[in-house]
Amino acid sequence: MNSRVVLRYAGLAAILVYCLAPFYWMLASAFRRPSDQFSLSPIPNPVSATNFTAVFGTDVGFGRALLNSLVVAGIATVLTLLIGLSAAYAMARLRFRFKNAVAALIIATSMFPGISLVVPLLKLFTDIDWINTYQAMIVPSMSFALPLAVWNLNAFFRQMPGELEEAAMIDGCTRLQAFRRIILPLAAPGVFTTAIITFITAWNEFIIALSMVNDKTMQTATVAISRFTGAYGFDQPFGTQMAAGVIVTVPLVVLVLVFQRRIITGLTAGGVK
């Protein structure tokens, strides 16, 4: 083995350690017994699930928070895809005036800082009694989810050959029928990838969920974890928090590992070929 090859593997190993070591530490800490929570041994010994049972204890109520996150991120994703699909199709397939302006406007909204939305909406939602409701979290989430989804879907539609729908339209389909019967089924993988990316982004959302809800039973998982208090109130319950972190993160990590190729295509949006 020459030194170049060794260097290559060392580089790869460094990336693996960089990306996975903190995540591994969360896993290892979550599986310790509370009594040896501060142990620095790399492998928990003995392995214990006490922290995980504590997460779902009645005083923590994390199950409800997970359900809230699922509802908010799930509905936001479905709504976003329903609304964004037609816009993405128009952007990818139709020629019209002001198209560059429309594209610029959509991408500009995704750069919009969340706080500029939270401040006025907090006031509005207080006035219309939306505080502590799902819609108070779902509706503002569209502000970042929708541009993201439109952009992603647009890239996927663009990769599909235009001849497909032309053929369908020559055979007598209207554009709408061609879209529904030909394009949409073929774009399913792209729609699915966009759904995953949108869901993860909505699931990870923090500032809106933090601001629009003050009732513990309506908190989403990310907010709930940051608010965990220990049984005695002064010690931060890191073991429980690590276990909750594992529960929130592992489904995402599994999704990411299974669909990594597609997600990477989605994130880099297929522009580079």
Among positions 209-238, residues that touch another protein (CB under 8 A) are: 211, 222-223, 225-226, 236, 238
- Count of residues near another protein by CB under 8 A: 105
How far is Cα 251 from Cα 37, in angstroms, rounded to an integer?
24
Interface with another protein (CB under 8 A), residue from 45, 99, 164, 229: 99
Per CB under 8 A, 91 contacts another protein: yes
How far is Cα 131 from Cα 129, in angstroms, rounded to an integer?
6
Per CB under 8 A, 67 contacts another protein: no
Per CB under 8 A, 55 contacts another protein: no
Interface with another protein (CB under 8 A), residue from 2, 3, 22, 129: 22
Per CB under 8 A, 131 contacts another protein: no
What residues have CB less than 8 Å from 205, skipping those under 6 apart?
72, 73, 137, 141, 144, 220, 222
How far is Cα 74 from Cα 80, in angstroms, rounded to an integer?
10
Per CB under 8 A, 29 contacts another protein: yes
* Least spacing, CB of residue 261 vs another protein, in Å: 8
Number of helical H runs and strand E runs in the chain: 14, 0
CA distances from 212 to 70, 137, 203, 266 (A): 17, 7, 15, 30
CA distances from 30 to 8, 62, 69 (A): 33, 15, 21
Per CB under 8 A, 128 contacts another protein: no
Per CB under 8 A, 255 contacts another protein: yes
Interface with another protein (CB under 8 A), residue from 70, 75, 78, 103: 103
Per CB under 8 A, 162 contacts another protein: yes
* Least spacing, CB of residue 125 vs another protein, in Å: 11
* Least spacing, CB of residue 104 vs another protein, in Å: 6
- 3-state helix, strand, coil split of the chain in percent (to 5) is 75, 0, 25
Q: Find the part of the chain contacting another protein (CB under 8 A) among 45-53, 60-68, 154-162, 180-188.
A: 154-162
Of the pair 42, 57, the CB lying nearest another protein is at 42
* Least spacing, CB of residue 46 vs another protein, in Å: 20
Nearest alpha carbon to residue 116 among 140, 150, 132, 134: 140
The pair of three-digit structure tokens given for residue 126, joined into one six-digit string: 């207080």
Per CB under 8 A, 171 contacts another protein: no
Per CB under 8 A, 57 contacts another protein: no
